Chains A and B, each alone.
Chain A
Amino acid sequence: MARIGVFICHCGKNIASTVDVERVAAQAAELPGVAFAADYRYMCSDPGQRLIAEAIEEHNLDRVVVAACSPSLHEPTFRGCIEDEGLNPYMLEIANIREQCSWVHDDREEATEKALELVNIARAKVARSHPLLRSTIPITKRALVIGGGISGIQAAIDVGLAGYEAVIVEREPSIGGRMAQFDKTFPTLDCAACILTPKMVTVARDKNIKIYTYAEVEEVTGYVGNYTARIRVRARSVDPDKCTGCGSCWQKCPKKVDSEFDQHLGDRTAIYIPFPQAVPRVPVIDRDNCIYFQRGKCRLCERACDVGAIDYEQEDQIIEEQFGAIIVATGFTLFDHSVYGEYGGGQYADVVTGLQFERLVNSCGPTEGKILRPSDGKPVKTVVFVQCVGSRDREKGMEYCSRLCCMYTAKHGLLFKEHNPDGEAYVFYIDIRAAGKNYEEFVRRAQEEFGVHYLRGRVSRIYEENGHLVVRGADTLAGMQVEIKADLVVLATGLIARDDAVEVARMLGIPYDQNRLFTEGHPKLAPVETVTSGVFLTGACQAPKDIPDTVATASAASAKALGLFSHDCLESEPMVAQIDPALCSDCRACVESCPFGAIEEIEWRDMMTRQMRTVAHVIESLCHGCGNCTVACRAGAPNLSGFSHEQVFAQVEAV
C-alpha cells in the first residue's frame, strides 16, 4: 500500500500570493494514498529538504510529491533528497504549481483549485511509480576534434595536457584554419602565424594527440562515452612516412592552380602545401588538376623526390576509431558578396573581401605584402573599406551582426596606412562594435594615430570607370552623399556557416538554427554544450567570434570533455522505453518514429508459437525517453519507465 508524502512549497510569495498553499496541503492530506502532507516557504532550501527527510522517516513514506516550481529547476534536488533517505530517487513526482499555475493565473480561488488538481494528478502518477535503477555506461576516454583550426588545436592541446587522447580530423592538407590566413591580429597586432605556429607544433608533438589531415569524418554512430567515427583519410599521393618536406616536388611542378589559401588572388602548384608553415609538412597532389592524373603525362615530382615519397597509387583510407566525446570545431566561411549587384556582383577584380585583403597585406601572400591592385598590379593609393556586407541585411544577407568586421576593418585600415603612409583609407560603417578588451582603444588608434577616415553610412553603389572604382556612399552624420574614387575596395563580408553545416549537424545528431549555426545547449548557461550529450561546440561554427572567444570556448569544450573522462563510467537516466515483444508485430512504426535511432529489430523466441520471429527492441543507452514510440505503436507494446501507460491514464482519470 503506497504511503505518499505531499509537500507544498510557498516559494516565498511566488506561489503563496496566488495559491492558498495551506489549504492545498490540508486538502491534499485527504487524497487517497496520502499519509502525510505539509507546506513550507522554500522546499528547495535546507530546512525544506530536512522537512521532507524527517517526514519520510517519521511517517514511513515510500514515495513523495513535491508541489513547487518547474521540475527543470529542482527535480534533481528532490531526487537527491529522498535518495539520501534511502528511497529510490524515481519515487518522486513534481507538480508544477508555479510556472503552470501561480505565475499564469490571477484568480486566487481558481488557481488554488487548479493547484490541488495538479497535486492530485501527480499523486495518481506516483502511486503507480516503480523504483528505477540507473545503469552505467562505459566511457572511452578519447576525444574526437572535428576541425584543425585554432579552436580545434586549442581543444586538443587541453585534452592532451590532461593526459587523455585526442584525435584531430582536418579537411585541409594542413591544420591552422583561418588564423593561418591572417596577417596581424587585433588588438595587439601580433603576427597570426607567429602565435599560431607554436600551438601547431605543440599539437603535432604531443604524444596524446593524433592528427589526420586531408581527412573528413564521414559517419558517427553511438552515444555519449561510446562514439564510433568513420574517418576517410584522402589519398595525398605522398607517403608521409618517407616525405621530408624538402619542397623539391612542388618547386618542380609545372601546373599552376588558383590558390584557395590565397583566396584566388595567387597561384599554387598541383602538388603543394597550402602555406610554408604547414603541419604536417607533407604535400598533397590535387588530382583534379594534376597533369599526370588528368592526362597521364609529367611525373616531374616523382623524379624530383630524393626519397621516393611520391605514390600515385595511394588510395583513400577508411579508419574507424572509438571516442567518448566529440568537439565540433568546424569553423566558418565567408558570405558570398556576388548577390550585391550594386557592388559589382563579384565581377570587379579590385573589389575584394576582408580575407583577400589579409592575403594581400601578408608578407607570405600573393603580392609579398605589397598592397597592389589585383587587376593591374599597380599600387593602391586610395582604399575604401565597406563594413556590414551581407551582415545586418535581412533583404539580401544575414540578419545578424558578424561581430568581427568592425575590428578587422580597423586593423586593415591601420595596416594599410602603415604600409602606405601617403595613401588614404576610408571606412564606411553603420555602427562600430568594439566591445572586447582594448578593442575600443584600437579603433580610436586607427583613426587618431593612423588617420583612417571613418564615414557613417552604407555604400549604395560601386562601379568601375577608367581604371578606378567609384564608391557612392553617405555620411549620415553630416547628412550628405559622399563619392570616393578608389583604387581598391575591401568589403567586410560577413561570417556564415559552412556549406555543409547541415550535413555535419545531421551526422552528429545536433540541432542548428535558421542561419545553420550549430545550436548551443542554452544560449546563456551552456554555450559550449549541445542538447546531445557528449557533443561539444567551439569556435565560429556555433556563432561568429574572434580569436580570444574562440580559444576560450575551445578550453571550455575540452573541460566538458575532460569532465566526462574524469568518471570511470556514466550513469544513464533510467527513463527509457521497453518493448513487450509479445505485443510487437514488427510493423516498424516505432523504428521510424524514433528520432534517436534507438530502436533495432532482433530475433526473439515467441513462447506462444515456439517460433523465432523479428520484434522491435529498444537500445536503452540511445533512448532519450521521448515517448514517440509509445504513441506510434498501435498495440501499446512500448512502455516508458517513469511515464508508463498505467501512470498516464491514471493521471488523466484523476482530473
Chain B
Amino acid sequence: MRYAYYPGCSLHSTARDYDLSARAVCRVLGIELEEIPGWVCCGASSAHMTSELLSIALPVHNLNIAKEMGLDTVACCAECYSRLKIANREMRARKNGRVAEVDEVVGNTYRGESEVKHLLEVIAGDYGLDALRERVVEDLSDLRVAAYYGCLLVRPPEVTGFDDPDQPMVMDHIVTALGAKAVEWPYKTECCGSSLSLTRTDIVLKLCHDIYQKAADQGADCLLVACPLCQANLDMRQPQVNRQYGTRFELPVLYFTQLIGLALGIPSADLGLSKLMVSPQQLLARTGLRQPA
C-alpha cells in the first residue's frame, strides 16, 4: 500500500500532531506515504468561496504531481480531501466548460488520474478493520469515545461516498476494532463552525458548546476527529467555551490516528499528544492507558 501523501497546510503547522501520528501509525501498519514534492495549499474554503477556477486549479496542480508519481493520493484533512475529490469530479466530467479553463490555468491536462482517499478509508478499508484489530496491544476498554465526523467527510454524499451521511460509522468501527467503546450520540455530523474560527468565533463557540454537551450527555470521555480544523475549533476553543458558557467540559479532542497509535503501543512523543490544548493526561491515566510524556 503506497500513496502520494497530501498533508495540507495545517498538518505542517497547527495540526503537526496529526501529521506526526498519521506517519507513525502508517509506518507501523506498513502503509507507505510519499509526500507530494512541492505541494501547495489546496485553497480550502477561501478559494471556493471566492473563485471557482482557483478552487479547482490549486488541487489539480497537486494531483497532477501525484499522477506523475503514478500513485493515488491520500489526505488527512477533511477540507483538503473534499477539495481534491471535487477537483477530480470536475476534471472527469465530460461536459464541463471549466475543464479547458483549468488546463490553461495549471498548464497541464490532468483528468482525475490520481484517485483521492481519506486516511480513514485507507486504514478501515484498504488496510482493514480485522487486520487493525490484530495489531492492538493496549487495553482501551475503559475509554468511551464520541467519534465526531464533522461535515466534509460525509457531505455531499455524491462527492465523498464512503460512509453514510447521516449515521457514519467508519470511525466508530475503528474505535470498536481498537477495543474502546464508541458512544452513540446525535451530533456526529453537526458543523463545528469551520472557517468562521477567527472571523465569527462566537458562532464557533456556540456550535462547539452544543457538540460538547451532546457528547457529554452520552457519557463520552473524549472526542475523536479526522479533520485539523474541527480539532482546532474543538480543542483550542474549549477553554473559551467554558468561560463563555460557564461550563466545565474537559473533553480531550484526539485525532483518530493518535488513538490508533495509543492502541498500537506507539510512544506518546511520536503521537504529538503533548500538543493537545485540552490535555489527555488525566484521561489516559484514569483509563490505565499510560502516563503520556
Q: Do A and B come from one complex?
A: yes
Kindly list chain B residues whose C-beta atoms are within 8 Å of the C-beta of A463.
186
Give B145 Cβ to nearest chain A Cβ, in Å. Answer: 18
B165 contact set on A, CB distance < 8 A: 341
A466 to B217, CA, bound (A): 9
Among A341, A464, A466, A470, contact of B166 (Cβ-Cβ < 8 Å): A341
Report the Cα distance A466→B213, complex, angstroms: 13
B164 within 8 A of A: yes
B45 contacts chain A at the CB level, 8 A cutoff: no
A345 within 8 A of B: yes
- Once the chains bind, are A341 and B167 in contact (CB under 8 Å)? yes
**CB-defined interface of B143-185 with A at 8 Å, one 1/0 digit per residue?**
0000000000000000000001111000000000000000000
A241 sits at the interface (CB 8 A): no
Given the complex, which residues of B lie within 8 Å of A461, measured CB to CB? 166
Contact A470 B167 (CB under 8 A): no
User: How many Å from the CB of A36 to the closest CB on chain B?
Assistant: 60
A106 within 8 A of B: no
* Cβ contacts under 8 Å, B186 to chain A: 463-465, 470
Residues in chain A near residue B214, CB distance under 8 A: 465
A341, B217: Cβ atoms closer than 8 Å:
no
Sorting the interface of chain A by its residue count into under 10, 10 to 19, 20 to 34 or 35 or more gives under 10
B30 to chain A, nearest CB (A): 35
The count of residues in chain B whose C-beta lies closer than 8 Å to any C-beta of chain A is: 7
* Nearest B residue (CB) for A470: B186
Which of B164, B167, B217 interacts with A465 by CB under 8 Å?
B217
Chain A: minimal CB distance from B215 (Å)? 12
Across chains A and B, the number of contacting residue pairs, with CB separation under 8 Å, is: 15
Q: Considering the chains assembled together, what is the distance between the CA atoms of A465 and B187 in angstroms? A: 10
Chain A residues positioned under 8 Å from B166 (CB to CB): 341-342, 345, 461
Main secondary structure of the interface of A (DSSP, over half): strand
Provide the bound-state CA to CA distance between A168 and B214, in Å.
56
Binary flags per residue of B7-18, CB closer than 8 Å to A gives 1, else 0: 000000000000
Query: A448-471 CB contact bits vs B (8 Å, 1 = yes)?
Result: 000000000000010111100010
Q: Of the candidates A341, A464, A466, A470, which one forms a contact with B164 in the assembled complex, judged by CB atoms under 8 Å apart?
A: A341
Binary per-residue interface labels of chain B (217-231) against chain A in the complex, 1 for a CB within 8 Å, 0 otherwise:
100000000000000
Task: Please give, as numbers and ranges, the residues of chain A lying within 8 Å of B167 by CB-CB distance.
Answer: 341, 345
| Residues from chain B with Cβ under 8 Å of A342 in the complex | 166
| Residue from B165, B186, B214, B217 with most neighbouring chain A CB atoms (10 Å) | B186
CB-nearest residue of chain B to A347: B167
List B residues 183-215 near A (Cβ within 8 Å): 186, 214
Distance in Å from the Cβ of B289 to the closest Cβ of chain A? 29
Taken together as a complex, chains A and B put the C-alpha atoms of A461 and B214 apart, in Å, by 16
In the assembled complex, the Cα of A345 lies from the Cα of B167 at a distance in Å of 9
Min CB–CB distance A469 → chain B (angstroms):
10
* A481–chain B nearest beta-carbon distance, Å: 13
Question: In the complex the two chains form, what is the Cα distance from A342 to B155 in whole Å?
Answer: 13
Which residues of chain B come closer than 8 Å to A341, judged between CB atoms?
A: 164-167
Question: Which residues of A have CB within 8 Å of B217?
Answer: 465-466
In the complex, what residue of chain B is closest to A342 when comparing beta carbons? B166
Q: CA–CA, A461 to B217, complex, Å?
A: 19
Set of chain B residues within 8 Å of A470, measured between Cβ atoms? 186
- A343 nearest in chain B by CB position: B166
CA distance A577 to B232 in the complex (A): 79
A464 to B217, CA, bound (A): 13
Q: Which residue on B lies nearest to A463, using beta carbons?
A: B186
- Segment 240-270 of B: residues with Cβ below 8 Å from A: none
Most buried by A among B165, B167, B214, B217: B167
Q: How far is the CA of A341 from the CA of B165 in the complex (A)?
A: 8
Name the A residues within 8 Å of B164 (CB-CB).
341
Q: Which residues of chain B are within 8 angstroms of A345 by Cβ–Cβ distance?
A: 166-167
Which chain B residue has the least Cβ–Cβ distance from A461?
B166
Q: In the complex the two chains form, what is the Cα distance from A466 to B186 in whole Å? A: 10
CB-based nearest A residue for B214: A465
Question: How far, in Å, is B184 (CB) from chain A's closest CB?
Answer: 9
Bound-state CA distance A345–B214 (Å) is 21
What is the CB-to-nearest-CB distance from A185 to chain B, in angstroms, rounded to a whole number? 35
How long is the Cα–Cα vector from A461 to B189 in the complex, in angstroms?
Answer: 11
- The listed residue with most B CB atoms (<10 A of its CB), out of A461, A463, A466, is A463
**Which residues of chain B are within 8 angstroms of A466 by Cβ–Cβ distance?**
217
Q: Which residue of B lies closest to A341 (CB)?
A: B166
Determine how close the nearest CB of chain A comes to the CB of B183; give it in whole angstroms.
Answer: 13
Q: Which of A314-363 contact B (CB under 8 A)?
A: 341-342, 345
Other than the known A341-B164, A341-B166, A464-B186, what 8 A-B pairs have Cβ atoms closer than 8 Å?
A341-B165, A341-B167, A342-B166, A345-B166, A461-B166, A463-B186, A465-B217, A466-B217
Sample 15 A-B pairs with CB under 8 A, ordered by A number: A341-B164, A341-B165, A341-B166, A341-B167, A342-B166, A345-B166, A345-B167, A461-B166, A463-B186, A464-B186, A465-B186, A465-B214, A465-B217, A466-B217, A470-B186
**Chain B interface residues (CB < 8 Å from chain A):** 164-167, 186, 214, 217
The 6 closest A-B pairs by CB, nearest first: A341-B166, A463-B186, A342-B166, A465-B186, A341-B164, A341-B167
